[in-house]
Amino acid sequence: MMYSFYELFWLFFVYSFLGWIIETVYGSIKKKKFVNRGFFTGPVCFVYGTAAVLMTVFLWELKSSVVALFVGCAVMATIIEWVTGKLLERMNRHKWWDYSNKKWNFDGYICVQYSLIWGALGVLAIKYGNHFLVYGFHLLPSVLEQIVLWVLLIIALIDMSASLAAMLHIKKGMPEIVFKWNAQLDRWT
């Protein structure tokens, strides 16, 4: 089943939010205090949304074979995780996560344990989650669907701009409103 642009956009944001919840709960339990594990200020981990949408677009034909779908999802998510880890390290000069202490890790960014988890999450998303989430999306009136997505996009772009500016130490030339909105988003999160 192919999804429309708006449906994929919706899946991207929902899975980004769900990924943030997973990361934040895990990190908070581990550190015994609240930890915002996302790169951005808001409650999103875009790597989850990206992986979910890419799996949805490229692996949906494997839906009838759980084993093939699992392997495809595990491989795709592992590649995305490794590339994301490398990019973030290059941009920030430090690792955002490190699996060096995990058995069968590669470069500290990926390991078999998490690849298996990503494979299982991908199967759940493609076989069940996508249908449920798109159905929920279409419960909104058509005009409201688009408004919600555009508002989410604007918030994400503001968050992304401020987060990248902070990371790259760019304050000059950035509108002050971007930092104010980002600070407000941080308080809401």
- Tens-digit pLDDT profile for residues 130-147: 999 999 999 999 999 999
What pLDDT is stored for residue 92 in this prediction?
A: 74
pLDDT tens per residue, range 14-61: 999 999 999 889 888 988 888 876 677 778 889 999 999 999 999 999
Provide the 10 A C-beta neighbour count for residue 60. Answer: 15
Range list of H helices, the chain: 5-31, 46-59, 66-92, 112-124, 130-137, 142-167, 176-188
Q: How many residues does the chain have?
A: 189
Position 173 scores a pLDDT of: 56
And the tokens for 140? 């909104």
pLDDT at 181 over 80: no
pTM, whole model, 2 decimals?
Answer: 0.83
Lowest mean pLDDT among 34-48, 150-164, 169-183: 169-183
CA distance 35 to 92: 19
